[in-house]
Chain A
């Protein structure tokens, strides 16, 4: 898997504030890469630097193994922070300008507007659009040159639940076409639902990085109970796949080793002649995991 974007020791300093601190990440081809962090953690600054609008204080980055140039920009579609268009122009005319800048045939405009569901509103001026429509128009503009990589900065910010669902669906639809997507978000469940890889940022520094499944989906908790609790507690230490267990009044919380699930617990209990009255899987809350990552000393 070739690296689409390779960031090396990128830093940005605003006066006394270190917005991005020695950030190094690699985005592989075909991945949906999430930049996760609270507001002010340096996500937008990082994207601004790799998109050539913010000057890095130090460090370097390459797109497709090359320094940024008109050619690499042609292969990337991006929206940074807000949808940026001329408010007095219609959606269609705004797209015409983007097409001219990107050197794309204007015939493609209708197709992308259709993709984001704005084909019926293309003659409405941009200022007459709702926030969700503006956001969708920005995604349409980013898609206009059929880029290999899509960079989206907080694409669901300020949208209502319906709009959020629409945009997420759109992202997954685009990703299914094999495009690489880089997504900055402060929403944990967004990153968890959409991304394949994640980098967690805090105060401009990288706190964790890797596939979403290893970084965010920490081990699930299993809750069991039975009429005879003592029996359960006798069997549990003998099971090789149980990592930890914590008895609590009338239930026991378990975590299992890699590769085992609740079915294994059920089977083992049944083999020991224990009938469970409760067996449920509880996902550790994302917030809890996130706070854990953030709290780790760097």
Chain B
């Protein structure tokens, strides 16, 4: 916990962190508000959008797009430590390399908690106001979507952290992270049979927040094979551990 406290001291007055969090909250609210105006089949989605319990899936699916933002934030925080040479100073002052990685992992956890709590508050707010069904089961029945979102956010951020630790330069690390997650892995996915590619990291993380109505879509087109969120959670946690370990070995094998 001391590690998290040290990290909080670093970021409380770091404007970049607050700006990125503010962007996340405001754009998320904007999308949430605007999406009720989306028309499907000539009918405005309107307040249907906010109906519980499906709202939890919609929220987490929308939120999944913002993981990129969180990932970039984590890359900035990790590469800053190289730029300011504070990583090296912290080792001189007594932290181990494992603690350096854990500290950033805790930051990822804290950001994921923040995101999850935000979704919880928004879900309850919009759900209780607009949802016709506000029974106990409607509110809590599918709330597990939030926990999958939490794992997904942590997964994205630990991958971003790994990119930061390996590449060290913020611009380069951000570009590599985006290219890997949006271009390289999707291409690999195309080349591999579905039974294999469903275990690739981005696909596993994506499976945690499936698109609402995906099952409907699958009936119309050729279904893309994905793990169910519950099944994807296990490999996702495995990847999180793996990314942390790889970050640790990167630090261990290198001069700081």
Residues of A within 8 A of B (CB): 48, 51-55, 70, 73-74, 78, 80-82, 84-89, 93, 96-98, 100-103, 141
Contact = CB atoms under 8 A, between A and B. Distances in A.
6 nearest CB pairs, A to B: A84-B89, A84-B85, A73-B94, A53-B256, A54-B255, A100-B6
Given A89-B10, A97-B6, A101-B6, A51 B84 contact: no
A70 B256 CA distance: 17
A275 B89 CA distance: 63
A89 B96 CA distance: 23
B93 A86 contact: no
A42 to B, nearest CB: 14
A98 to B, nearest CB: 6
A100 B89 contact: no
A96 B94 CA distance: 15
Nearest to A81: B85
B191 interface: no
Given A100-B2, A101-B90, A55 B85 contact: no
B5 A100 contact: yes
Contacts of A100: 2, 5-6, 9
Interface residues of B, number: 25
29 contacts: A48-B255, A51-B91, A51-B92, A53-B88, A53-B91, A53-B255, A54-B256, A55-B254, A73-B94, A74-B94, A80-B88, A80-B89, A80-B92, A81-B85, A84-B86, A86-B86, A87-B84, A88-B15, A89-B10, A93-B9, A93-B13, A96-B9, A100-B2, A100-B5, A100-B6, A101-B6, A101-B94, A101-B95, A103-B94
A84 B90 CA distance: 9
A52 B93 contact: no
B92 A98 contact: no
Interface residue SS majority, chain B = helix
A30 to B, nearest CB: 22
Contacts of A102: 93-94
A100 B9 CA distance: 10
Contacts of B6: 97, 100-101
A74 to B, nearest CB: 6
A98 B93 CA distance: 7
B92 A78 contact: yes
A54 B86 CA distance: 14
Query: Which of B5, B14, B93 counts the most chain A CB atoms within 10 A?
Result: B93
Contacts of B96: 70
B84 A85 contact: yes
Contacts of B9: 93, 96-97, 100
Contact of A73 (B2, B5, B85, B93): B93
B86 A85 contact: yes
Given A88-B13, A100-B6, A100-B9, A55 B94 contact: no
Interface string B1-27: 010011001100111000000000000
A267 B233 CA distance: 94
A51 B93 CA distance: 9
Contacts of B88: 53, 80, 84
A48 B256 CA distance: 9
Contacts of B86: 84-86
A143 B9 CA distance: 20
Nearest to B254: A55
Contacts of B14: 86, 88-89
Interface in B64-102: 80, 84-86, 88-96
Contacts of B2: 100
Contacts of B254: 55
A87 B14 CA distance: 10
A82 B96 CA distance: 21
Nearest to B2: A100
A101 B10 CA distance: 12
Nearest to A47: B92
Nearest to B15: A88
B256 A73 contact: no
A273 B95 CA distance: 72
